[in-house]
Amino acid sequence: MRLSTSSLTLYLTLFVLLAFVHALPYGNFWNNWPSTTTPQPVTQPQPQSQPNPQPQTKPTRKFRCGDEPGSYCGIYPPKQTTVSLTQKRLFSHSKMVANKYKLAIIGSGNWGSAIARIAGMNVQRYPELFEEQVNMYVYEEQVDGKPLTEIINKQHENVKYLPGITLPDNIVAVNDVVKAASGADLLIFVLPHQFIPGICTQLRGKVSKNARALSMIKGVEVKDSNIRIFADVIEEILGCKTMALSGANIANEVAQDKFSETTIGYREGDLESAEIFHKVFDRPTFKVGMIEDVAGVSLCGALKNVVAIGAGFCDGLEWGSNAKAAIMRIGLMEMKNFSEEFFEGVKAETFTETSAGIADLITTCFGGRNRKCAEAFVKTGKSFDVLEKELLNGQKLQGSETAREVYQFLAARGKVDDFPLFKAVYNISFEGGVAQDLASKL
């Protein structure tokens, strides 16, 4: 019997969430489930002096937006969004024009263009809060003999990376990153991760330290036994506070206004800056949640691409839905364990309750470029470098690169064997391991 994609997705969501909820009290999922025969109570024992012990309940986390009655606004925001259109600016500098935030988007690929469309519409929606023009840095290239910046500014369409979608005309393509970012109070970084250090180095000292940045990059920076999320890389080079946005966001679907959610992970105590970015992105069909966990949101976005390579191997092997669900379950546990082991303050809820966590994992393992290329890897025997060129039309494949970086980091720390899925994905991708052996490696 064939399951439809939606029922399969629902089944997998429920399976993974139920499994996770079951596992959380026991710490190590793999060792304790399903072999545990006597389930332990989830709640702490109540003190005896309490005559009528009540079961512990979690605080309600869902909320509704203040400015749009009835609209569901997020998964885990600690309180209602409070940015008022008239309040004193939270961060400002002498060059701020008419006390409005100026936005710049650094990147213009598939996701960069989709998100520019949303940001362009929202700054027009809140003219009291934002300057209308939004610069978008475009890495210049020729398309049909014309510069891509010229095409975008005349046709209001990124014909190479997001064809068929009209960009608002307040989005201005600029081929010089320093000019694009000039005077910006809000900087959105949305480039494949390999270009970030070079781009940020060009911007060093040219961006106000009072600005706020947001990283949409799905990847990690690894140097030997050190690992960093790109929000930290950007913050260190530019000196301005940087948060992260990630979620179940296949760019073409978001660009067509098909409903999706996303998550902003913000720094401790910096909810107010996150709320400004909430205003930049939240729309009726693109709902933005917020959680105080920059590392968790960033790591979900990076590590789920490694799991998606494993899911793509399953598809290439035609192993079916159960196998893919198993890869996703194991993958989610490795993502969470990896993040908690190597980063401080990561929250389990980011993995289980936000769009950046479980939802992005599901969408990436069913759609997305990493799954697609991994399926082709098994079916054609071609390398990921070749498949990236053949299948992605200039887009970058992040999952295989992240698999390599994560493996190198784990090897440097002597921890490879604690993450059998990550190890197997690397082995099959780069060491000539046989894809058919995937299950036996887990």
Ligand X SMILES: NC(=O)c1ccc[n+]([C@@H]2O[C@H](COP(=O)([O-])OP(=O)(O)OC[C@H]3O[C@@H](n4cnc5c(N)ncnc54)[C@H](O)[C@@H]3O)[C@@H](O)[C@H]2O)c1
Question: Which residue from 352, 418, 411, 397 is spatially nearest to 28, judged by alpha carbons?
Answer: 418
Taking the least distance from each CB to ligand X, the nearer of 242 and 427 is 242
CB of 84 to ligand X, least distance (A): 30
Tokens 């650094």 sit on residue: 106
Instruction: Given the residues 287, 304, 324, 347, select the one marked as catalytic.
Output: 304
CB of 203 to ligand X, least distance (A): 12
Strand order across the 134-137 sheet: 171-174, 134-137, 103-106, 186-189, 212-215, 242-246, 260-265, 286-291
For 293-306, give one letter per residue: b (16+ CB within 10 A) or e.
bbbbbbbbbbbbbb
CB of 195 to ligand X, least distance (A): 4
Rounded Cα distance between 381 and 374, Å, is 10
The tokens for 171 are: 């989005």
Among the residues of 24-146, which ranges form H helices? 29-32, 110-125
Rounded Cα distance between 314 and 188, Å, is 35
Which residue is at the shortest CB distance from ligand X?
109
Rounded Cα distance between 203 and 313, Å, is 39
Taking the least distance from each CB to ligand X, the nearer of 218 and 347 is 218
Give the residues across from 67 on adjacent strands. none
Active site residue 382: no
Taking the least distance from each CB to ligand X, the nearer of 12 and 106 is 106
Taking the least distance from each CB to ligand X, the nearer of 114 and 323 is 114
Taking the least distance from each CB to ligand X, the nearer of 273 and 363 is 363
CB of 106 to ligand X, least distance (A): 9
Question: Which residue from 82, 106, 102 is spatially nearest to 176, judged by alpha carbons?
Answer: 106
Tokens 């891509």 sit on residue: 148
CB of 404 to ligand X, least distance (A): 15
Give the residues across from 354 on adjacent strands. none
Residues that bind ligand X (CB under 6 A): 107-112, 139, 161, 190-193, 195, 216-219, 249-251, 395-396, 398
Taking the least distance from each CB to ligand X, the nearer of 180 and 323 is 180
CB of 14 to ligand X, least distance (A): 24
Rounded Cα distance between 190 and 213, Å, is 11
CB neighbourhood size of 415 (10 A): 16
CB neighbourhood size of 324 (10 A): 21
Rounded to 10 degrees, the C-alpha dihedral 426/423/227/370 comes to: 50
Taking the least distance from each CB to ligand X, the nearer of 264 and 438 is 264
The DSSP symbol for 359 reads I
CB of 177 to ligand X, least distance (A): 8
Active site residues: 304
